[in-house]
Amino acid sequence: MTDFRTTRVLVILLVSMIAACAAAPVQEMSNARQAISAARSAGADQRAPDALQKAEGLLKKAEEDLSVGEFTKARNNAAAARDEAMKARNEAQPQTQPYQ
């Protein structure tokens, strides 16, 4: 009886994990869009245009992947877009000097 329960639990967990991987990367897409917006607000369009442009290109690729059902590629490109947008925001923000 225990083996049956263990097997059943493992099957349910496996199916849940597969379903999670196959789902559309809604949160990742939202994170990327928000990061790009924050980079723009920080002035990245003027002070870090290359990084911002790369982030926007990755987001566009993620949207294309999403539209054809390539959820894993979309998730990866959205995460890369978020990372690149964060880089652009960091480059755009003025550097402050520590107190001495």
Banded pLDDT at 23 (limits 50, 70, 90): confident
- C-alpha–C-alpha distance, residues 82 and 48, integer Å: 15
- Res. 71: pLDDT tops 80: yes
| Domain assignment of residue 4, yes or no | no
Number of structural domains, the chain?
A: 1
**Which amino acid, residue 100?**
Q
Q: Which residue has the higher pLDDT, 13 or 35?
A: 35
- Res. 55: pLDDT tops 90: yes
| Domain assignment of residue 98, yes or no | no
pLDDT at residue number 18: 61
| Domain assignment of residue 71, yes or no | yes
Q: Which residue has the higher pLDDT, 98 or 29?
A: 29
DSSP string, 46-85: HHSHHHHHHHHHHHHHHHHHHHTT-HHHHHHHHHHHHHHH
Q: How many CA atoms lie within 13 A of 80 on its CB side?
A: 16
- Kindly state the tokens that stand for 21: 């991987």
Residue 67, domain extent? 26-92
| Domain assignment of residue 75, yes or no | yes
